[in-house]
Chain A
Amino acid sequence: EAVSERTPELLLIPEDESPVLPPVLLLPPGVRNGYALLPPLLKVLSDQRPHSWEGESPRLQPDSRALRYMKRLYKMSATKEGIPKANKSHLYNTVWLLTPCAECKHHPKDQIKEDLHSVDLLFNLDRVTALEHLLKSVLLYSFDRSVFSSSAITCTCHVAVKENDPSGQVCPNVLQPITFNLHFEIRRHKWIEIDVTSFLQPLIASNKRSIHIAVNFTCLKDDQHHNSNLGNSFNMALVPPSLLLYLNDTSEQAYRRWHRRKNPVWSRWRNNPLADSLEEMGTENMQYKRASRHRR
């Protein structure tokens, strides 16, 4: 119960505070109920109930294409044994792939003309902690290439972030739309990544718990510019995008490759006179043994 003065920032949870928490959990500095913020793996490891992980509540299975994308990201970021690869572009230590938790139908009043594929998406950010700082954010579209033979297409994507509507409706008004013009070859891409970092930075920095994004995505094949029903079938092939957040987790349990540990302990032997006499005392009979071992 007595936390030594030397480490005031480490908090021990008193036994009577919350029976649900593991009996003793040293929390990272400045985090009172850090248990809830612990990343999933550490929650299970620190959970004292035997085999609690087996009775785990059923998990929603993610979209198979999103899963394939994240497995590919894992292979690029870590070795087979799970050791993070050290390369310059790899500044993140956390990547969240969020699937939209609500799709709203568009309000007729702000229907954008020529609107072939437009959705409002709600992304829940509850899992992103205040200690995770945003490095990059991407809307990730995947599409089924069997719908099209290989050819080039041109897409226009309108993205608008929405403020939380005070009336609590799921789909509030559209704000600050931004347009991306993309041109790419279908045969070479399974994914379209739309960088919305500058867009979401202020929202995530202000610790928003959810983000509404209205996306209007229209594509036409270059060779049939006027045949919009083809664009239509392409747009139907698009599944709602996932939101990718590349983060730098600054909490204690996250791996920070540029965070150097203190100098090794043994260097403190050098300037400690007591160490020499202790070593003498510890080695007095060893000295004799070592001498005879050398002779041998």
Chain B
Amino acid sequence: DEDVKENPSAPTYNLSEYFKQFLFPQNECELHNFRLSFSQLKWDKWIIAPHRYSPQYCKGDCPRVVGHRYGSPVHTMVQNIIYEKLDDSVPRPSCIPAEYSPLSVLTIEPDGSIVYKEYEDMIATKCTCR
């Protein structure tokens, strides 16, 4: 208040603007839901099960200080600093899946045989910045 009395022309503080810079980025890197059914891809003639499949995906900005909160290697920090201080043609770290879970699929083969198979890395379960 003293500042304002002494020189009324000083810019009035917009507190909400001021605090905005401390909030976590709204669209920070995180896992997003996505669910499809094999009939949408017209694969339900030969994929018997499951009927629906949720591969999920990662999207969002990587915060400046990724640290091990995202399970990121040290290189991510290096890349971020290069982008910020040395050369902004180097892209910022990207938000990508870090861990997956498998999917069991039951399919019909062209010769009429049927196969049950468990595939690795078919559902994203965790994101990271790299």
Chain A residues with CB under 8 Å of chain B are 39-42, 44, 53-54, 56-63, 66-67, 70-71, 73-74, 77-78, 80-84, 93-99, 101, 124, 127, 249, 252-256, 264-266, 268-269, 272, 274-275, 278-279, 281-283, 286, 289, 292-293, 296
A99 to B67, CA, bound (A): 55
Chain B residues with CB under 8 Å of chain A are 19, 21-22, 41-43, 45-50, 52-54, 64-65, 67-68, 71-74, 77-78, 80-81, 98, 101-121, 123, 128
In the assembled complex, which residues on chain A have CB atoms less than 8 Å from the CB atom of B106?
70-71, 74
Residue of B nearest to A54 (CB): B42
Q: Which of the residues A78, A256, A279 comes within 8 Å of B104, measured between beta carbons?
A: A78
Q: Considering residues B22, B71, B120, which has the most beta carbons from chain A within 10 angstroms of its beta carbon? A: B120
Residue of A nearest to B85 (CB): A281
A74 to B103, CA, bound (A): 12
In the assembled complex, which residues on chain A have CB atoms less than 8 Å from the CB atom of B81?
278, 281-282
A187 to B111, CA, bound (A): 32
Compute the total of residue contacts between A and B using a CB distance below 8 Å. 162
Contact B50 A275 (CB under 8 A): no
Additional 16 contacts, C-beta under 8 A, given A56-B45, A97-B113 = A40-B109, A60-B111, A66-B114, A70-B106, A74-B49, A77-B116, A82-B103, A94-B116, A94-B118, A98-B113, A254-B119, A265-B98, A265-B128, A275-B74, A275-B77, A289-B21
Given contacts A71-B49, A82-B103, A82-B105, contact A266 B68 (CB under 8 A): yes
Output the least CB separation between B81 and chain A (Å): 6
Contact A268 B73 (CB under 8 A): yes
A97 to B112, CA, bound (A): 9
Contact A80 B115 (CB under 8 A): no
Nearest 7 pairs between A and B by C-beta?
A: A266-B68, A60-B112, A255-B102, A78-B104, A82-B50, A255-B118, A93-B118
A255 to B120, CA, bound (A): 4
Given contacts A44-B43, A78-B50, A84-B104, contact A93 B112 (CB under 8 A): no
Residue of A nearest to B99 (CB): A261
